[in-house]
Amino acid sequence: MTLEEKLSHLQASSMEEARAEGNAIIDNYREALEKVLKDHKEEMRWQSETRIKAEQSNARHMLNQANARTQLELKRKTGKVQVELKDKIFKEAHELAEEYMQTDAYEEYLIKSIRKATAFAPGEEMTIYINPSDEPRQAALEAATGTRLTLSSEDFIGGTRAVIRDRNILIDNSFSTLLRNEYDRFIFTGGDGIG
């Protein structure tokens, strides 16, 4: 082999070896870059999923808060309407009680109420009060029940109140107390579950 051939052979084999090494370096670098890219994509996907979950949780929380505020406002408005209706109902009940007080049935009710109070504690000292508006009936009621009655200084709409002072007992059959007790117990139980 001539010197030229040797040099040509050496140059060809050196170039082949350098090309192989260069290709190996490029392949290694490409693999490293692909791994970095894959890791980066995985990290971005994980961050995106985490962000989406956080945003979904935040959206649910905000929706729950908005629902709670809406429900509270609805209950407040419903409660206000119910109080207005309740007041209207009991105003009408008060008017009906006043109409009832103009009837003979009311006088019979008073007689029964007085007799019931005296039967509760026979022989004991008792003060039975009638409403100031029932003053015109006082004599007839005393005659019908054989009981001395006292005209109340307080207007309790109608009915009677009896007091046994020795035993600290109040027998309260006044319309104001009866209406107030019914008012306190009255609850709307509509189809909306409120009540």
CA 126 to chain centre: 46
- Tell me how far apart the alpha carbons of residues 137 and 160 are, in angstroms, rounded to a whole number: 13
All residues at 6 or more sequence positions from 175 whose CB lies less than 8 Å from its CB, including other chains: 97, 131, 156, 157, 158, 159
pLDDT 10s per residue in the chain (195 long)?
A: 787 887 788 788 888 888 888 888 898 989 998 999 999 999 999 999 999 999 999 999 999 999 999 999 999 998 899 999 999 999 999 999 999 999 999 999 999 999 999 999 888 899 999 999 999 999 999 999 999 999 999 999 999 999 999 999 999 999 999 999 999 999 877 655 444
What is the SS3 assignment for 194?
coil
- Tell me how far apart the alpha carbons of residues 94 and 101 are, in angstroms, rounded to a whole number: 11
Largest CA distance in the chain: 160
pTM above 0.75, yes or no: no
- Check residue 193 and report its DSSP letter: S
- Tell me how far apart the alpha carbons of residues 27 and 56 are, in angstroms, rounded to a whole number: 43
Tokens at 51, concatenated: 């962000």
